[in-house]
Amino acid sequence: MTARTRQGPLDGLRVIDMSGMISGAFATTMLGDFGADVVMIEHPKVGDPIREWPQKADDGTSLSWKSLGRNKRCITLNLSSERGQEIALELISDADLVFENFRPGTMERWGLGPDTIHDVNERAIVVRLSGYGQTGPKSHKPGFGTIAEGISGWAHANGFPDREPLLPPVSLADLTAAQFALQSSLMAIFERDIGRGGSGEGQVIDVSLTEPLWRLFFGEVEAYDRQGHIRERTGNRHPNTAPRNIYETADGYMTMSASNQKIFERVANAIDKPELIDDDRFETNATRVEHADALDEEIAAWTRERTTEEAIEILEANDAIVGPVYDMADVFADEQFRARDAIVEIDDDDIGPTKTFAPVPKFSRTPGEVEFLGPKHGEHNVEVYGGELGFSDEKIATLEADGVI
């Protein structure tokens, strides 16, 4: 078998995706956006839980699934059955990447652990995602992103100082782990195929949901080790720079960040308060952080007297760095998103023409593409089992009857 031809810099890369929900699935969505041939395995009776997530189209199809399942060929396979395990190894035999996010030990119990995978394909890179990682005293526990957002330090630092810790409004731990899984898989491919001549060998990548999100707190580990510093909630402010906030306007809100001296001075002049520049409280970034309440009130008194559009126009004329606060309708209407073709329309067989994200980021010579949105459960069984593994129609029918596929 060879990876089917696709558009993008990863054309020729074959991925077997055994992951469900978000973390592994988002990583393989990104790979698929840029040309990888992603074959996703789901249980014959129960599809990926994302297929049931809201919001739903008129026919009941999950729009979350249409987004997360795009560019993947979906097949069904019972990995807990002996025949299913044999077929899985056939699929893996020429794969570049294998993604899984079962509880640690599950793949080994099914006879599909890394050692077995490398027996049939020594070049395979196995990417394992789990709540706590494959090792350590908590590795056996199930884990969701919500728990990771708590124990990574994220929730403790997120929100306002006079309120409870705040979880993010998106599956941030899963999506962050997905990015680390994606980049590490490409690092492993580089080492296998290119780096110092290429080792030619696969390896195992162990990604927890907790550590990638924790890794985003650069400087915080060092600050605790050297000074016992623990980051606390600062609302929309940044603990290391000021001014930086969301400011109320006459008709809504706007964002602004002035993280160096020159930009702060531009802001002070733009809001007709040049005296702030020589105010001892605002003389340096350190003193501005210390007196952020007073500085924000000076700015907010000005922004509240103007519409968002007016305030942004004046501030941008002074080369300040500002922006509006958008909802999704605003994004759809924004000229910058339109100019960059950030939204593309795909004619989906189930729900009709539907707009979705264009691949991010943009490549000058080998751009990615959205070939199709999330397919039906088992939609590509015949294509993969018959067309690629060479199973006859009778064999496929028997495997279906036996609950293997």
Active site residues: 174
Q: Where are the alpha helices (DSSP H) in 203-260?
A: 210-215, 220-227
Pairing relation of β-strands 72-76 and 37-42? parallel
Cβ-count burial of 38 within 10 angstroms (0-12 exposed, 13-18 middle, 19+ buried)? buried
* CA–CA separation, 66 and 56 (whole Å): 10
Query: In terms of residues, how long is the chain?
Result: 405
Neighbours of 395 (CB within 10 A): 14
61: left (phi over 0), alpha (psi -120 to 50) or beta: beta
The three-class DSSP label of residue 127 is strand
Nearest Cα to Cα of residue 8 among 405, 367, 377:
367
Nearest Cα to Cα of residue 207 among 70, 351, 19, 47:
19
Contact 335, 277 (CB under 8 A): no
Contact 173, 150 (CB under 8 A): no
* CA–CA separation, 338 and 332 (whole Å): 7
Contact 24, 100 (CB under 8 A): yes
Buried b / exposed e along 55-93 (16+ C-beta atoms within 10 A): eeeeeebbbbbbbbbbbbbbbbbbbebeebbebbbbbbe
Cα–chain-centroid distance for residue 241? 27
Concatenating the DSSP letter of every residue in 252-270 gives SEEEEE--SHHHHHHHHHH
Q: CB-based contacts of 91: which residues, under 8 Å, 6+ apart?
A: 16, 39, 41, 384, 389
DSSP secondary structure letter of residue 3: P
